[in-house]
Amino acid sequence: MKHYDWGSPEWIPALLGQENPEQIPWAEFWMGVNPGGPSRVVLPGGDAPSLLLSELIDQDSSAFLGKETAETFGKLPFLFKVEAAAKPLSIQAHPGIEQAREGFERENREGIPLDAPNRNYRDQNHKPEIICALSPFAALCGFRKLEETITLFTNILQSRARSSDDALKAGLQKLLSALKSEAENPYKAFLAVLFSMDDEAKNSLGPFIKSRQVLFERDFPEYKDEWRLCSYLAGFIPENTPGSSRGDPGVIAPLFLNIVELSPGEAMHIPAGVLHSYIHGLGLELMADSDNVIRGGLTSKHIAGEELLKILNFSEFRPEILRVPEGAPNWFNYPSPSAEFTLSVMRSNGSAVTFTEGGPSIVLVTEGNARITEKENAAETGLSKGESAFIPPLKNRKLEFSGAFTAYLASCKSS
């Protein structure tokens, strides 16, 4: 379990059926073998003491992962999370596999400790991911169409509500000029200007957006969601004091990143190199097992603008919304190009559902109660809402899930 101040004291405890009398924010619940938050398992029967999932797998990796997964990855290759964003998470992206290896080795040579706040690469793996909403979920993801971003910044500079602050006006004009430049990657030029914006202009961004929200909505109502979200984000930035530098250019991220809203059960895949931020909501996040995060704003943690410019994909990108089709069977796999994982949802109102995944899996029950039966020996295990289980490759065995429940599964495609 990971606790951060941006989490919710209610969402994850309610999902897991646990008490939280201290009202401590619970932000993430990790399921997997990542050393940052490894899972413990209790073996069937419950007599033996619990042990780390990684320790169990190490006893016989071929049996618990399957021969192909063990040879390809050497460990459980995915990390499964419950994610609660009660306030915006940092604007971030994750490296591709070669970028992660190069960055990890470079920071090792530089002597940066793995747990140092300014460490960007904590392992050698990439981190594609899929997020599936359990509640209404808002996010920023991928660069907008360039013409749209140019329009939004032009609106700011030409509006009757434009800033009278010379430093801010100059900064916004430089951003617009970068977007209109003939650079190979206008968004790369834009972000380079944004990350190098002087403190006076950065400090003015949040107060300016908040004070002009109503006027922008009046002048450009077609972009009211963008103005409102910018103002919302600015509300999380501490007020400036003389001589301080507390501005955050991330407050204008809705002007250059797509606003994405997911309804419960909807999901989106986020490839490596795509800039994104989770704004609000409860969701399930499944990713390649990695803790590599390069941040660019909306955070008090280390921001690595120059490193971000090395790993980003600067193409326009709007993620496809993945929906469970109407009339879908009790089992649905969300499409994913990632070799390390597949996310699936199982639902039943009482009928039995046959478990069909061939690779190692983790199942989490989010609604109701499920009973798992192994057909060959009639062994049974019950899972209540908020409980999870690790399922090794079944080979010639069959499992059935019965009861009234909703469950999500993280599985490896290989076996």
Catalytic residues: 295
Strand intervals (E) in 300-350: 331-334, 342-349
* Conformational region of residue 287, where left means phi above 0, alpha means psi within -120 to 50, and beta covers everything else: beta
Q: Given the DSSP bridges, would you call strands 137-143 and 276-288 parallel, antiparallel or unpaired? A: antiparallel
**Which residue carries 């001589």 as its tokens?**
243
Q: How far apart are CA 359 and CA 389, in angstroms?
A: 14
Strand partners, 374: 379, 399
State the number of CA atoms in the 13 A half-sphere of 122 facing the CB: 17
**Which residue carries 């977007």 as its tokens?**
179
| CA distance to 15, 365, 394, 396, per residue, from 384 (Å) | 10, 6, 22, 27
Intra-chain end-to-end CA distance of the chain, in Å? 28
Q: How far apart are CA 27 and CA 88, in angstroms?
A: 11
Strand intervals (E) in 67-128: 78-85, 91-93
Residue 405 and residue 368 in contact, taking contact as beta carbons nearer than 8 Å: yes
Q: How far apart are CA 128 and CA 122, in angstroms?
A: 15
Distant-in-sequence, close-in-space partners of 41: CB < 8 Å, separation ≥ 6: 50, 51, 52, 53, 56, 390
Residue 401 and residue 371 in contact, taking contact as beta carbons nearer than 8 Å: yes
State the CB neighbour count (10 A cutoff) for residue 49.
Answer: 8
CA dihedral sign of residues 9, 131, 260, 180: positive
